[in-house]
Amino acid sequence: MKILLTGVTGQVGWELQRTLMTLGEVIPVGRSQLNLAQPNTIPHIIREIQPDLIINSAAYTAVDKAESEPELAMTINGVAPGIIAEEAKRLGAAIIHYSTDYVFDGANTIPYTEEDQPNPQNTYGKTKLAGEEAIASVGVPHLILRTSWVYGLRGKNFLLTMRKLAQEKEEIKVVNDQIGAPTWNRVIAEATAQILSQSRQDVSNFFADKGGLYHLTASGATNWYEFAQAIFTYDVQDDKRKLQKLIAITSKEYPIAAIRPAYSLLNSQKLTNTFGLILPDWQKSLELVLAMNN
């Protein structure tokens, strides 16, 4: 199986390069080779490579910056995935694409299922939903995996931001009224590989049967303040830390450009029922990440 992997320098893409190695020939392409901000260049690259499967882990992920760059965010997150899907269909290939909990408005009090109606409240969420809809409308065999609060030891994410701030400041304020599930990028990549391993190298037919939209997040629930607390609890060997006090605040006390959903837990039961996968609890993953790094 020939696998074209986009977004190889991103959090999920970087891990996918390792987890996909046993499943086929992985052809990783970065932004210099396949720039989703220039959709007209996409067909040529895909036709040249002729993949059996395209995994699109590239995305515009700067949630607040998207409010001032809506057209660029929509091009990368909304338009480009549709073009990738069209090219995959033309080749008889399949596509895997990653989306976000931010397609929901946060009004729920129980975890969102794939049947719940999206209602994104920020530009990032709107563009990611547009990408989902573009892929689905093409009619290509596909798998769309919505995940949440992605973190790891590379790129830009909450874990690395907290560790950096803790070395620079004695006090850090973190919001405690947004509920979600932090999900390790490696867990996402490994779950993707486990799903693909069930396809017996016939991904297009496999997705025609079992494809569609799935939620894929860590088990459990927390808020950003508790997530930060856990980071500093498990990161015991950080001797450069200046941090003395972690302060819980409300979202209103921390004004930012993009509205975040107050509640964005995703129900991953469909993933379990279809593929037999249960993602580990977010705290266990975080403890493992920090143990590896210390």
For 261-290, how does the pLDDT look when each residue is reduced to its tens digit (9 = 90+)? 999 999 999 999 999 999 999 999 999 999
Residue 220: name the closest of 270, 268, 274 by CA. Answer: 268
pLDDT score for 294:
65
Which domains does the chain possess? 2-157+183-219+265-282 (3.40.50.720)
Contact 157, 150 (CB under 8 A): yes
Could you tell me which residues are beta bridge partners of residue 75?
none
User: What pTM value is reported for the model?
Assistant: 0.96
Question: Scanning the structure block, which residue is given the tokens 């299922």?
Answer: 113
Could you tell me which residues are beta bridge partners of residue 150?
183
Q: What tens digit of pLDDT does each residue of 89-100 get?
A: 999 999 999 999
- pLDDT above 90 (res 238): no
**Is beta strand 142-147 parallel, antiparallel or unpaired with respect to 25-29?**
unpaired
Which residues are tagged catalytic?
124
- pLDDT above 70 (res 237): no
- Give CA–CA dist 186/192, Å, rounded: 10
Contact 100, 147 (CB under 8 A): yes
